[in-house]
Amino acid sequence: MAIESREQGAGSTAQGAGSRAGLARAGDEMCTEPRALDWDKQGGLLPAIVQDATNRRVLMLGYMNRQALATTLDSGRVTFYSRSKQRLWTKGESSGHFLQLVAITADCDADTLLVQAIPRGPTCHRGTPSCFDDAPADFLAELDTLIAQRHAQRPQGSYTTKLFDAGVRRIAQKVGEEGVETALAAVAQGDDELAGESADLIYHLLVLLRARGLGWDDVVAKLRERHR
Ligand SMILES: [Zn+2]
């Protein structure tokens, strides 16, 4: 079941609303009072697992009471009930490293929440992306995010910046070359060479997509469509 914010799509990169079954659809009343959740089981608190909506990394675990959930849905910033502070605690309220809400879903028993969010800075107080060391993430999505940053910031000396500056035609040519090299490696070279050429191909493809204003998400959406 899904619990939806009234602020739909604020920087959202996650799945469209059409794929969600709504416990609470976008609308004031339901958003702030998701009655179907099992608040009684754990004394008015629900554990909330936070996941990076872009690269799927598990970021942290917190607890929400009704008010924290309502505040999260209302403000679009993930807010917990802090058991140590005994008050509402908006993640990032002192560090500025907010978690921007994308979607909230409840588990099968309606007693645990999965919060998908876009982190604005490191989630852990140690400065790491996740409170869980080495929490696995989708590397392609991470790489795509990095390439998008390069596209926006164009840092000097970066090969990716050089490609963006050269333009779509040049990048497209590189993708063509890497495609041919990958094909040749498949028929005439070893596994390591094939993996290496494939990596070059995918990297240049991500750069090409970004140069055209597209991201890895757009490709994944097409793949999903084809596998329905
Ligand atoms: Zn931490």
What are the structural domains of the chain? 2-119 (3.10.20.810), 139-226 (1.10.287.1080)
Kindly write down the DSSP assignment for every residue of 82-128, as one continuous string. Answer: ETTTTEEEETTTTTS--EEEEEEEE-TTSSSEEEEEEESS-SSTTS-
Strand arrangement, sheet containing 113-119: 22-24, 2-3, 99-106, 113-119, 46-52, 58-64
Looking at the predicted structure, is the pLDDT value of residue 18 above 80? no
- Of all helices (H) and strands (E), which one includes residue 226? helix 216-226
Q: What is the reported pLDDT for 40?
A: 92
Contact 174, 204 (CB under 8 A): yes
Query: Up-side HSE of residue 121: CA atoms within 13 Å toward CB?
Result: 12
Backbone Cα Rg of the chain? 21
Ligand 1 centre to CA of 126 (Å) is 6
Q: Tokens 């929440």, residue?
A: 113
The pLDDT confidence band at residue 3, using thresholds 50, 70 and 90, is: confident
Measured in Å, residue 124 CA sits from the centre of ligand 1 at 4
Could you tell me the pTM of the whole model?
A: 0.76
Give yes or no for residue 32 having a pLDDT over 50: no
Question: In this predicted model, which residue has the larger pLDDT, 220 or 10?
Answer: 220
| Pairwise CA distance, residues 180 & 197, whole Å | 9
**147 CA to centre of ligand 1 in angstroms:** 27
Q: Ligand 1 (ion): which residues have CB within 5 A?
A: 124, 131
Give me the DSSP letters along 129-197: S-SSTT----HHHHHHHHHHHHHHH--TT-HHHHHHHH-HHHHHHHHHHHHHHHHHHHHHS-HHHHHHH
pLDDT band at 36 (very low <50, low <70, confident <90, very high): confident
Distance (Å) from CA 131 to ligand 1 centroid: 4
Phi, psi (rounded to 5 degrees) for 39? -75, -20
Segment 79-88 shows an average pLDDT of: 96
Q: How far is the CA of 56 from the centre of ligand 1 (A)?
A: 17
Q: How far is the CA of 211 from the centre of ligand 1 (A)?
A: 35
How many A from CA of 18 to the centre of ligand 1? 33
Ligand 1 centroid – CA 1 distance (Å):
28
Helix (H) / strand (E) containing 207? helix 191-211
Q: What is the reported pLDDT for 34? A: 62
In the predicted structure, residue 82 carries a pLDDT above the cut 70: yes
The DSSP secondary-structure symbol of 19 reads: G
